[in-house]
Structure 1
Amino acid sequence: MFPVFKIMGRLLKRVFHLTTYGGMHSRGMTARRGTGYQQANVVILHKSLADDFEAFCQANSGPLPLLYRSQPGEWACPPLAKDSDIRTDCPQYCVFENGRLTAEVPSLTAFTQQMQDMVSFYLGCSFSVQQDLRAAGVPIRNVEQSRNVSMFRTSLPCRGVGVFRCPMVVSMLPVPEGKLEAAAQVSHLAPTAHGAPIHIGDTALIGIQDVSRPEYGEAVDPAPGDVPVFWACGVTGVEAVQSAKSPLAFTHSPGCMFLSDRESAPAAVTSDPEQRPMAYSISQQPLHYSLASKATVQRIQTLEQIIGEDPGERGIRALFVQDELLKSCLSLSHASSVLITTGFPTHFMHTPPEETDGPPGALAMAAALQALGKEVAMVVDHRALEMNAGIMEDAVEKGVMKTAVPLLSFQNPGQESALQFLCQDGDPKRPRFDHLVAIERSGRAADGNYYNMRGVNIKHLLDPIDDLFTTASTIAGITTTGIGDGGNELGMGKVKEAVRTHMPNGGLVACDVAADFAITAGVSNWGGYAVAYSLYLLNICPIHERYLRRGVGYPPNPHKLSDWAASLPTVAKEEQFLAILMKYGIRSGKTGNLAMEVDALPFHPTHSTLIQRLSDVTLKPHPPLA
């Protein structure tokens, strides 16, 4: 039976409820009146453009989830509403001529003749899930404030089709930090209402400079502790219409939706609770959160547990911080340019003084990052630059790496030199790198010296690469990771109190330079391997992969997935690389043996077995990318 509430809703559409947004006027905002019923954005185009616009919707399903495409001259929308008439069923319409807004009208009946050759597209709307968000305890601030939702034009390009090329429009809801996961999980279950958020955090990261001046809708005031959350928005269709510059086109006025008869209970993408989104903070300057599925998070946590094993009985569990691997890799997944450093000259009586822990993990990370399309460079001590170039060349020749990584050196200490190195023209607003990673890199202690675990000062063998990390901590947009197995490594200053308390000679050797994330491993190489595997897991995770591409474009094709998998560490590749290090005279840490071992642990079975375990956890069957 046709619901009484719905009949009243159709009558209420005639109520002249005036609201101003972005220079346009609309009446009859449906955010409050359509509670409990599915709503739709509307685009009406000449039939000659219909096929291209449908393809545009399919290529950008986040902002433009297609609910129904009409036949030319069809006023009704049978799947969504009984006895509907698109000429009158929105409270307000926009009229576009040659891409320019020329009028706003309460009805399209005056255009009936022209609409005989036009096709109506009904697109999902986030208003449809507001009731479910409230049921999950997520406040709807714009409704609380009796305002239209804030909608912004972003710097995120949609995937173009034909004449349709435009940036994405997003809607913004301020959400209490403790409700971020609830908001993501509820909306994820409603892909026809834009699905999960496409960005959580700083507005500037998606090209929004002033959150108080939305292009569409009204500014909404956040409450203390709220985080800005952005969903793809169907008003992207308005931008698409303008980009096409067709002689005549219509859309709903933003906020004045087509109100259907269909109840808005979300149609679940999956009933598997392991695939629900989980939210993690990955940066405070700028504020940035990321999403991944529960299943992916659990696998990465398993990898973290494996690399935290301590066969050398060094007591490194005292340095462990939960989920540092996950958060570091989420940040790396969003990065476009990564700088890696390694090199611990613990064998100061030998030439070269480096050890076999560090370089294998560094190259494993570099290979994975390259496969994902990131720019990668390595910074090493100047005295070891030629040796590392030879090692890199051999690694490519032997198939350990597909492509050589550029090698850099940094010799001049101080913040000014570090700024020039890290940023274009030394401008902290133009960083060259998004993320710095140190793995088994000797770190500066509180007294300014550098110590091996025996307490021997090796400062004379090291360049001031620590200054890059201390300076990066002052630059918004650069995040840092330190990977270590004893606490005297660069970046492990984050856990220096635990090092001083629990590690031998900790009071002397503890690194004083902190990274944003400190990954503790039984052997530092293992941490690098785990980063590589975790990056693969994140990028094949449907939740995280969609969040990375902001709901526009398509998931990666199988060929790209195969390339990613081929970049990962294997027992054969790591054995080959360890042989290359031995060729250059690089020795095992702790024992100084020129042998197939790392940190006094033989490659077979200790390291080979662990690599295989990490691979098994990572490469077991996964849900397909959607």
Structure 2
Amino acid sequence: MLIAHGFCVCACASVCVCFPGYQQANVVILPSHLANDFQAFCHSNPGPLPLLYRSQAGETACPPLARDFDIRCNTDTHTHTHTHLQILHHTEAASEKQTWSDMVCFYLGCSFGFEGQLKKAGVPVRNVEQGRNVSMYRTSVPCVSVGVFSCPLVVTMRPVSADLLNAALQITHLNPLAHGAPIHIGHPAFLGIQELSKPDYGDQVELQPGDVPVFWACGVTAIEAILSKASLAFSHSPGCMFMTDIPDSSSSITSPTTPADPDPELTPSCFLLSHDPLFYSLASHRAVEKIRQLERIIGEDPGQRGIRALFVQDELLHSCLALSHSSSVAITTGFPTHYMHSPPDETDGPPGAIAIATMLLALGKQVTLITDRRALEMNQDIMEEAVKTGVLKSAIPLVVFEKNKSDSALHFLCHQGDRSKPRFDHLLAIERTGRAADGNYYNMRGINIKHLVDPIDDLFIAATDIPGIITTGIGDGGNELGMGKVKDKVKSFMPKGSLVACDIAADYAITAGVSNWGGYAVACALYLLHTCPSHQRYLKKGLGAEPVTSPAQLQDWAANLPSVDKEESILSTLVRFGIRSGKTGHLAMEVDGLTFHPTHSDIITRLLEATQGPTH
């Protein structure tokens, strides 16, 4: 035992002491003058610091969690309460000033509390199998600061077999006071962790074949927070937990922000977005089903073009999950199908691109539009008009790509041509003419329009070799950039498919009856993801106080959704600039031969109802 300033505590142990079947807790003991700030710090960072109980100053017991317990001596009458305490920090002055009556104990949830449930569900717990403490890492993710408390997030890592990820999610999601669902699944570098073999706390836990590294927020974050902040402070030794009397299957521990009966529709599922680097994202069952409803709506084919043959389920969902995690997105559009007219462009594409850009900007992303040099001035004028009419709050940067040398695309996409420093993390093409297998660009009539097209396809080709850049293509015929992912279907089922099919694949190919509809659906899906608690928590790494979004923010996002009025306005602007309907060539309020009212306006209304619910 250590005697420190009149406090009797156990020495720090190097062996993890865990008793399966019971909820476990991290322990922090601080002087009372820091207690309110630390409590606020916990509430602001609920993922790593789920607060189970705060004692009164001088209180030695913890009645909601364990009976007949005295934290000072680490002894009790129950065999499953075993805590190893360590002195984190003290000064000589503390010897004179600090007494137990001035100390406050905090008991915080611990991820060991769900390991028993994982094992019961058939999810192997590798650290237990290997007889080791769990691996804990200091990340580069800053917690929300409160008062004197600020520190990086600490996480635990448990390897989970890829086919059992959803089982692990569903179990841990239901135990939010044991840190809840993971805050990251995939490559550790996303958290600033350089080497899994060198944990900052605990032991190295080895991945088995087929395992994925899964990271949970960790209560050791509290140790990082209180180091050097108090004249005297105690904590449990990492891995040696306070054992409660509460079974790990019990929901008897509750908090104001944790419902006792979670909504099953909010249970998250995980989706693989990238193999290199490995990255998964989460979304709730409710959000996923709504996005699938959006996908069904845009897959309708009133123009009888046979677009359903190109459909791949969940491309919209995967693309929007990736866009949600992005910070800088480059969007390109423009299909000069009317080669006999000036301008040769069609009305499909630009409205959808603007709808996507508008929502991305509202979500705080950087957005750049890439256009052909021949269309730069026209698109600048259209942008100015969109700002004047209120469709856009401000003009979006417009750039052109020119191929001057073999590595032009690499230098366009990455700072100084360095693949480790991409300027964009997502490239998106919507109704953008795509290069066919013979190197030419064709409209659906099989006319070669290569002379009107800049080689923006090269950017999508180069992106395949740049880790961290994901690509999306949106199309309605198969000759659009990115639709190379479904080129075999295009060749088999679309008119002149063998000739016109785009050969350049995107990571995700969203098919729609009209490409603009795909753009509207992307904007709506991004809104759904950012109003999904499971996804928002994952984005924020379990940090930030509830609620995750403010009413003002929700109102702003809703205002930036596409609407019938805004889309009618932008289409009217395009017509005034001489841009024509793709299928008919009419200079009229139509897209792909379908009039805005009632066809396009009805689709927009239905997408909004699927996103926000009926308006009446």
TM-score of Structure 1 vs Structure 2, range by shorter chain:
over 0.9
Residues of 2 paired with 1:119 and 1:515: CA distance?
A: 56
1:440-589 superposed matches below 5 A: 440-554=431-545, 555-589=548-582
Equivalent position amino acid for 2:586 in 1: N
Deviates more, 1:76-85 or 1:110-119: 110-119
What's the CA shift string for 1:452-502, capped at 9, x where partnerless? 011111111011100110001110000000000000000000001111111
Match of 1:277 among 255, 261, 268: 268
Equivalent position amino acid for 1:613 in 2: R
Q: Which residue of 1 aligns with 2:195?
A: 210
Asked if the contact 1:98/1:245 (under 8 Å) is kept, the reply is no
Residues of 1 paired with 2:59 and 2:96: CA distance?
A: 13
Equivalent position amino acid for 1:437 in 2: L
Residues of 1 paired with 2:558 and 2:13: CA distance?
A: 51
Q: Which residue of 2 aligns with 1:97?
A: 89
Deviates more, 1:547-556 or 1:167-176: 547-556
Deviation at 1:70, TM superposition (A): 0.8
Q: CA, structure 1 residues 67+521, in 2 after alignment: closer, same or farther (shift >3 Å)? A: same
Q: Which residue of 1 aligns with 2:369?
A: 378
Deviation at 1:79, TM superposition (A): 0.6
Match of 2:218 among 228, 233, 240: 233
Residues of 1 paired with 2:520 and 2:90: CA distance?
A: 55
Q: CA, structure 1 residues 522+159, in 2 after alignment: closer, same or farther (shift >3 Å)? A: same
Q: CA, structure 1 residues 113+611, in 2 after alignment: closer, same or farther (shift >3 Å)? A: closer
SS at match of 1:221: coil
Q: Which runs of 5+ in 2 are unaligned?
A: 1-9, 75-81, 252-258
Deviation at 1:115, TM superposition (A): 2.7
Deviation at 1:397, TM superposition (A): 1.0
Asked if the contact 2:485/2:505 (under 8 Å) is kept, the reply is yes
Q: Which residue of 1 aligns with 2:163?
A: 178
Residues of 1 paired with 2:590 and 2:458: CA distance?
A: 31
Residues of 2 paired with 1:151 and 1:494: CA distance?
A: 40
Asked if the contact 2:15/2:133 (under 8 Å) is kept, the reply is no
Equivalent position amino acid for 2:606 in 1: R
Q: Which residue of 2 aligns with 1:21?
A: none
Match of 1:260 among 244, 249, 252: 244
1:586-597 superposed matches below 5 A: 586-597=579-590
Match of 1:187 among 172, 187, 206: 172
Residues of 2 paired with 1:240 and 1:382: CA distance?
A: 53
Q: CA, structure 1 residues 582+67, in 2 after alignment: closer, same or farther (shift >3 Å)? A: same
Residues of 2 paired with 1:239 and 1:528: CA distance?
A: 44
Deviation at 1:184, TM superposition (A): 0.9
Q: Which residue of 2 aligns with 1:76?
A: 61
Residues of 1 paired with 2:163 and 2:373: CA distance?
A: 47
Deviation at 1:271, TM superposition (A): 4.1
Residues of 2 paired with 1:508 and 1:88: CA distance?
A: 81
Report sequence identity in percent: 63
Deviation at 1:621, TM superposition (A): 8.4
Asked if the contact 2:149/2:229 (under 8 Å) is kept, the reply is no
Q: CA, structure 1 residues 81+364, in 2 after alignment: closer, same or farther (shift >3 Å)? A: same
Asked if the contact 1:344/1:440 (under 8 Å) is kept, the reply is yes
Q: CA, structure 1 residues 99+176, in 2 after alignment: closer, same or farther (shift >3 Å)? A: farther
Q: Which residue of 2 aligns with 1:600?
A: 593
Asked if the contact 2:98/2:232 (under 8 Å) is kept, the reply is no
Deviation at 1:25, TM superposition (A): 6.3
What's the CA shift string for 1:514-564, capped at 9, x where partnerless? 000000000000000000000000000111111111110131111001000
Q: CA, structure 1 residues 389+232, in 2 after alignment: closer, same or farther (shift >3 Å)? A: same
Deviation at 1:72, TM superposition (A): 1.5
Deviation at 1:98, TM superposition (A): 5.7
Structure 2 residue 328 is the aligned partner of structure 1 residue 343: no
RMSD: 1.8
Q: Which residue of 2 aligns with 1:125?
A: 110
Deviation at 1:247, TM superposition (A): 1.7
Asked if the contact 1:37/1:260 (under 8 Å) is kept, the reply is yes
Equivalent position amino acid for 1:158 in 2: C
SS at match of 2:437: coil
Deviation at 1:28, TM superposition (A): 4.8
Residues of 2 paired with 1:534 and 1:506: CA distance?
A: 30
Asked if the contact 2:83/2:243 (under 8 Å) is kept, the reply is no
Q: Which residue of 1 aligns with 2:234?
A: 250
Asked if the contact 1:190/1:266 (under 8 Å) is kept, the reply is no
Asked if the contact 2:12/2:86 (under 8 Å) is kept, the reply is no
Match of 1:396 among 387, 392, 402: 387
Deviation at 1:26, TM superposition (A): 2.3
Residues of 1 paired with 2:493 and 2:73: CA distance?
A: 73
Asked if the contact 2:56/2:104 (under 8 Å) is kept, the reply is yes
Q: CA, structure 1 residues 271+95, in 2 after alignment: closer, same or farther (shift >3 Å)? A: closer
TM-score if structure 2 supplies the norm length?
A: 0.93
Residues of 1 paired with 2:209 and 2:97: CA distance?
A: 49
What's the CA shift string for 1:172-204, capped at 9, x where partnerless? 110011111111111111111111110011100
TM-score if structure 1 supplies the norm length?
A: 0.92
Asked if the contact 2:490/2:501 (under 8 Å) is kept, the reply is yes
Asked if the contact 1:63/1:233 (under 8 Å) is kept, the reply is yes
Residues of 2 paired with 1:264 and 1:473: CA distance?
A: 45
Asked if the contact 1:154/1:170 (under 8 Å) is kept, the reply is yes
Residues of 2 paired with 1:84 and 1:456: CA distance?
A: 83
Equivalent position amino acid for 2:119 in 1: R
Q: Which residue of 2 aligns with 1:615?
A: 608
Aligned length: 588
